[in-house]
Homo-oligomer: A and B are copies of this chain.
Amino acid sequence: MNKYVKKYLRNDKLAHMWCPGCGHGIIMHQIIKAIDNLGLDKDNICVVSGIGCSSRAPGYMDFDTLHTTHGRALAFATGIKLANPDMKVIVVSGDGDASAIGGNHLIHACRRNIDITTIVFNNTIYGMTGGQFSPTTATNDLASTAPYGSIDRPFDIAKLAAAAGASYSARSTVYHANNLEKLIEEALQVKGFSLVEAMSMCPTSYGRRNKKGTVSDMLEDYKETYININAFNKLPLEKREGKIEMGVFKNETYPEYTAEYQKIIDRLKGDK
C-alpha cells in the first residue's frame, strides 16, 4: 500500500465511494502528502466537511473527522478552532458546499482570518445530487438544472476568498497534482485563513453531459487550460482567451482571529 495511504487513510474504509475517474481521490492524496511533508501530528488534526461527494473525504482520513451539514463545514470548523486553537483545522468542501449554500460562511471565515485551511474540491457541478449547476459552473455549460445552458456567471472562488479577506488563496488542478500538493503544503503553513481551490473532474455528473470525453481527456483539458498566473499575466490579451490562471493569488499576513481572542483573555487576566 502507498505509504501515505497506510499512514493517513482509514484503509478499512477503502475502496472509496467515488466514481471511476473522479478527481476527488487525487486531491485527497495530495492533502495527505502535504500533511506528511510538514510532519504534522495526526492526533492534532481535524478535518471537517459539509455534504457532497467531496465532503465524504474526511471519512477516509485518519484524523478527528467531522462530516457536518451541507454548506456549514466552515462554521463548525470555526467553533473547533476557536475552542481549541492548538488543533490544525482543515476544511474540505465542494464547490457547491463552499460557494453555494456555504458561501456566506466562506467569506466570513476569510474576513475573520481564522487559522483554517480550506481545500475546495471544485468540479464545477453538484456531483452528489447528480449534476445540477453550481456557482462555479461556466456560463453556457449544460447541467441537469441548466438544460438549455447555464445563464449564471461563475464565481472565481480563489479570487473571491482573496477579496473577502483571506490571508492566502491559490488554485491548482488534479492534473497539476504535484503543484497542488505544494500549494496545500504552503496553505497549511499560513497562520490565518488559507484556501486552495483544487479543480477536479466529475466525469459522471459533469463530463458526460458536457461531452468532455474520457477522464484522461478532462485531465488533458486542465493541462491546456490552466496556466501559472505569472505566465498568464505576461500573455498578450488575445492569447488569454480560454486560459485560466492558477498558482498563488494572495499571500499576506493579517492578525489571526484566535490569536487576537487570546489577547483579550490575557488582557483580562492582567486586569485582575
A residues near B, CB below 8 A? 100-101, 103-104, 107-108, 111-113, 135, 139, 148, 151-155, 159-160, 163-165, 254-255, 257, 260-261, 263-264, 267-268
Contact = CB atoms under 8 A, between A and B. Distances in A.
A160 B107 contact: yes
A169 to B, nearest CB: 12
14 contacts: A103-B104, A103-B107, A108-B135, A111-B153, A111-B154, A112-B153, A139-B255, A151-B255, A151-B257, A151-B260, A151-B261, A152-B257, A153-B255, A160-B163
A146 to B, nearest CB: 10
Nearest to A107: B103
Count of this chain's copies in the oligomeric assembly: 2
Contacts of A151: 255, 257, 260-261, 263-264
Given A107-B107, A108-B135, A268-B148, A160 B164 contact: yes
Nearest to A260: B151
A159 B163 contact: yes
Contact of A111 (B113, B152, B159, B260): B152
A111 B160 CA distance: 11
B108 A103 contact: yes
A-side interface mostly: helix
A168 to B, nearest CB: 15
A260 to B, nearest CB: 4
Contacts of A163: 159-160, 163-164
Contacts of A263: 151
A104 B109 CA distance: 13
A45 to B, nearest CB: 25
A101 B75 CA distance: 13
Contacts of A164: 155, 160, 163
Contact of A135 (B100, B111, B152, B260): B111
Contacts of A160: 107, 163-164
Most buried by B among A107, A135, A160, A261: A107
Contacts of A159: 163
A81 to B, nearest CB: 14
Nearest to A135: B111
A153 B259 CA distance: 13
A100 B104 CA distance: 8
